[in-house]
């Protein structure tokens, strides 16, 4: 019974939810669910999990560009059919894991993946830089200050040697969000790439009353910078521009307040966040570089800045120290000294609760 456009209620199924999780488990996972004993990374990107029953599951992890086509997914399916009895999974960070139970197929799978040009880079495990979680950017969202996929591609090309190796002191997790909405939750990453606007929205007075709910726009502003105002015969708003911190929230509520700007927008780089509870509690990322202009197609300054952070960290940090732990040990004064980044007034917080970030001790380094 195919879809009937004239009777959309016919045979309609709703609220069925996702397929039950175990529907796509390989048999070995079903049999050993909750019985896994230990794991080992055999080489970068290749894991083995060993069960109490003695069963072994191999996973080969490959990076992807996240934005992929049906052709790509079909190729992935061909590979999984050939070596993995059709079973595979994705990780939270947009890597694919090919799941192998037959050890004799492991090496052929790896060789096959390597033979397919650069579609399936193997790595992303352990003390590496794995796929950059990111958002939509210019490809598909309405509020971005930067592109997402393009910057990620340029940065990963540059850091590729750290994807398929374990030569960093600890894992480095990079994330990108193209606006302060942070769909990608970049605020707790070792290195965060954030799209920022630097000009207040402009107001199309003749459109506001037709396309916007003015009370919602006013309520949307975190700094109460927006007031209603009559402009000629139009019911519109005014923005106290000195109070605007360029969040774009009003634009989300009202398309007659464009905020994107080719000269104003660009990239801020944040460092030292982490999510896991291991050793030290989760930490927010902090501002390292307030602004880098948009430089499509390959954002060379962003790429260079991130490489600088990674290299200074790699040479200076102790084993197991995440970037945030390393910075807490050496101090921010040393971080700016060692990276050569300029410390500017933007680094000093001036928003709510700012004083919790100011130095209230004479303990610092010269």
Partner 1 sequence: MALKHKTPMLDELTKGPWPSFVTDIKRVAERKPECDDLLGLLELSYKDKEGHWKHGGIVGVFGYGGGVIGRYCDRPDLFPNVAHFHTMRVNQPASKFYKTDVLRKLCDIWEGKGSGLFNFHGSTGDIILLGTTTDQLEPIFYELTHELGMDLGGSGSNMRTPEGCVGKARCEWSCIDTQDIIYDITMRYQDELHRPMFPYKFKFKASGCPNDCVAAIARADCSIIGTWRDKIRIDQEAVRAYVGGELVPHGGADGPEKRPLDIQAEVIDKCPTKCMEWDGKNLKIYDEDCVRCMHCINIMPRALRPGEDVGATILVGAKAPILEGAQLSSVVIPFMKMEPPYEEFHEFVGRMWDWWMEHGKNRERLGELIQRLGLREFLNAVGLQPDPRMINTPRYNPYIFYDPADVPGGWTRDAKAYRERHQP
Residues of the shown chain interacting with ligand SF4 in the complex, contacts defined by CB under 6 A? 135-136, 141, 143-144, 177-179, 181-183, 200-201, 220-223, 225-226, 239, 244-250, 259
Q: Which of 55, 56, 105, 150 binds partner 1 (CB under 8 A)?
A: 150
Nearer to partner 1, 67 or 330 (CB): 67
Q: Which does 218 bind (CB under 5 to 8 A by kind): partner 1, ligand SF4, none?
A: none
Residues 156/161/163/166 CA torsion (nearest 10 deg): -150
Q: How far is the CB of 247 from ligand SF4 (least distance, A)?
A: 4
Nearer to ligand SF4, 85 or 261 (CB): 261
Residue 58's beta-bridge partner residues?
48, 100
**Residues 242 to 281: which contact partner 1 by CB under 8 A?**
247, 249, 252, 255, 260-262, 265, 275-280
Examine residue 54 and tell whether it contacts partner 1 (CB under 8 A).
no
Distances in Å between the Cα of 302 and the Cα atoms of 146, 170, 269 are 12, 22, 8
Residue 47's beta-bridge partner residues?
41, 59
Nearer to ligand SF4, 39 or 114 (CB): 39
Nearest to 272 by CA among 142, 173, 151, 161: 173
Q: Which does 347 bind (CB under 5 to 8 A by kind): ligand SF4, partner 1, none?
A: none
Phi/psi class of residue 94: alpha, beta or left (left: φ > 0; alpha: ψ in -120 to 50)? left
**Residues 66 to 95: which contact partner 1 by CB under 8 A?**
66-74, 76-77, 80-81, 86-92, 94
Strand pairing category for 46-51 and 36-43:
antiparallel
Q: How far is the CB of 132 from ligand SF4 (least distance, A)?
A: 13
CA-angle at 332, arms to 305 and 246, nearest 5°: 60
**Cβ atoms 151, 133 nearer than 8 A:** no
Nearer to ligand SF4, 99 or 226 (CB): 226
The interface mask with partner 1, positions 179-198, x = CB under 8 A, is: -xxxxxx-xx----------
Q: Which of 6, 19, 340, 345 binds partner 1 (CB under 8 A)?
A: 19
**Residues 203 to 242: which contact partner 1 by CB under 8 A?**
216, 219-220, 222
Nearest to 277 by CA among 325, 328, 326, 330: 325
Q: How far is the CB of 147 from ligand SF4 (least distance, A)?
A: 10
> Could you tell me which residues come within 8 angstroms of residue 194 by beta carbon, excluding any fewer than 6 positions away?
176, 177, 180, 182, 186, 267, 268, 269, 270
Nearest to 352 by CA among 226, 195, 205, 243: 243
Q: How far is the CB of 193 from ligand SF4 (least distance, A)?
A: 11
């Amino acid at each position: 019974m195919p879809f009937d456009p004239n009777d959309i209620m016919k045979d309609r199924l709703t609220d069925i939810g996702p397929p039950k999780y175990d529907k796509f488990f390989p048999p070995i996972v079903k049999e050993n669910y909750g019985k896994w004993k230990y794991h080992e990374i055999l080489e970068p990107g290749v894991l083995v999990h060993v069960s109490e029953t003695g069963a072994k599951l191999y996973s080969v992890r490959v990076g992807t560009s996240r934005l992929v086509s049906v052709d790509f997914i079909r190729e992935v399916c061909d590979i999984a059919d050939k070596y993995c009895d059709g079973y595979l999974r994705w990780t939270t960070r947009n890597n694919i894991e090919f799941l192998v139970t037959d050890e004799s197929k492991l090496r052929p799978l790896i060789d096959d993946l390597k033979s397919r040009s650069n579609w399936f880079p193997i790595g992303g495990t352990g003390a590496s830089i794995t796929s950059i979680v990111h958002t939509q950017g210019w490809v598909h969202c309405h509020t971005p200050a930067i592109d997402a996929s393009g910057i990620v591609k340029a940065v990963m090309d540059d850091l590729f040697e750290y994807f398929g190796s374990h030569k960093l002191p600890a894992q480095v997790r990079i994330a990108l969000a193209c606006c302060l909405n942070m769909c990608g939750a970049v605020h707790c990453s070792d290195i965060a790439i954030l799209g920022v606007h630097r000009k207040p929205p402009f107001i199309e007075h003749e459109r506001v009353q037709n396309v916007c709910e003015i009370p919602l726009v006013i309520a949307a502003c975190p700094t109460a910078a927006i007031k209603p105002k009559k402009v000629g015969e139009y019911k519109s708003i005014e923005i106290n521009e000195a109070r605007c911190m360029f969040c774009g929230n009003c634009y989300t509520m009202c398309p007659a307040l464009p905020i994107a700007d080719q000269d104003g927008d660009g990239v801020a780089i944040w460092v030292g966040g982490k999510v896991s509870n291991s050793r030290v509690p989760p930490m927010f990322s902090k501002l390292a570089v307030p602004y880098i202009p948009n430089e499509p197609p390959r954002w060379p300054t962003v790429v260079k800045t991130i490489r600088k952070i990674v290299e200074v960290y790699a040479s200076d940090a102790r084993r197991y120290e995440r970037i945030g732990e390393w910075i807490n040990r050496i101090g921010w004064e040393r971080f700016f000294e060692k990276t050569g980044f300029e410390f500017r007034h933007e680094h000093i917080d001036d928003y709510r609760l700012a004083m919790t970030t100011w130095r209230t001790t004479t303990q610092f380094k010269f």
